[in-house]
Amino acid sequence: MDPVIRLEEITRVFDTGDVQVHALRGVSLQVSPGDCLAIMGASGSGKSTLMNILGCLDRPSSGSYHLVGEDVARLSRNQLAQIRNRTIGFVFQNFNLLARTSALENVELPLLYRGVSARDRRRLAASALERVGLADRMHHGPSQLSGGQQQRVAIARALVGSPSVILADEPTGNLDSKTSVEIMQFFRGLVDDTGVTLVLVTHEPDIAAWADRMVEMKDGLIVRDRLRDQGTSPSEVTA
């Protein structure tokens, strides 16, 4: 199968005036549809930088990036916005929900930039919230929800537009271990049921253990890329 994500020799250099920071120094990676991939690595190893490039929020300094067969480097600002809107679903560490805005409206947000009618937006957002188990919290604002619930709203928002790729940068970073397991269970089920591609960044091995494939980064390079041992199941790791 053609890969959803194909990175070739991606570098990213930040110019901070006096020093140049080489955040990525030649990353090549292929991700197939339905993959569930965890990126690990020390702080500052370039994980978030890579995720931003994957999410078309940032452009690489060199190298090529093909997303669903399309060369991202050739796309305009507006086309990138459209890719973010339709092909990618983001989940952030700090949830990034709009304050004083109901869960439903937060989930509707990506559909708003797609010209979906108000009624369809409402319907799709409600069913996405139902899928994350928040049918009874639709009209609550972020301040009325627990961290785990907020992250589930954010996941519903990432799902609502049926993207091909979900990018989650430390989705459980702000959650306790029990809630983290719930979130990972949900992601796992999602990948298995829908065949969506999931790329997540985490520091915790027991979270990474939920993935099928683990990529380890160090100083802007991928130093290890392996499939999960057939023997160990995630439940055993967390137990």
Partner 1 sequence: MTTVQTIWVACRALLRNKMRSFLTTLGIVIGVAAVISMSAIGAGARARVSSMFESMGANILIVFSGSSRQGGMRGGQGSQPTLTWADLDRIREDIPDVRYAAPMMGIGAQVMAEGQNWQTQVRGTTADYFGIRNWPAASGEIFGDVDEDAGAKVAVVGQTVVNNLFGEDYNPVGQLIRINNIPFSIIGVAAKKGNNAWGSDEDDVVFVPSSTFRAKLQGGLQQFIPGTIMVGAVSQEATGSAKTAIEKLLRERHRIRPGNEDDFTVRNMSEMASAQQEGARTMTSLLAGIALVSLIVGGIGIMNIMLVSVTERTREIGLRMALGAKPAAILIQFVTEAVVLSVIGGLLGVAAGIGAARYLVTTFDWPLLIEPMFSVIAVGFSGIVGVVFGLYPAWKASRLDPIQALRFE
Residues that bind Mg ion (CB under 5 A): 48
Decide whether 73 or 98 has the Cβ nearer to partner 1: 98
Provide, rounded to whole angstroms, the least separation between the CB of residue 127 and ligand ATP: 33
Contact between 186 and 218 (Cβ < 8 Å)? no
Q: Does the footprint of ligand ATP cover residue 143 (CB under 6 A)?
A: no
Q: Does the footprint of partner 1 cover residue 90 (CB under 8 A)?
A: yes
Selected range binding ligand ATP among 16-24, 65-73, 147-155, 183-191, rule: CB under 6 A: 16-24
Q: In what order do the strands lie in the sheet with 197-201?
A: 88-91, 165-169, 197-201, 36-41, 213-218, 221-227
Cα distance between residue 187 and residue 200, in whole Å: 10
Q: Does the footprint of partner 1 cover residue 61 (CB under 8 A)?
A: no
Query: Whose CB is nearest to Mg ion?
Result: 48
Estimate to the nearest angstrom the gap between the alpha carbon of 120 and the chain centroid: 24
DSSP secondary structure code for residue 137 in this structure: G
* Beta strand pairing call for 213-218 and 36-41: parallel
Which residues sit at the interface with partner 1, rule CB under 8 A? 52, 55, 57-58, 77-78, 81-82, 84-86, 90, 92, 96, 98-101, 105, 109-110, 112-115, 118, 157, 161
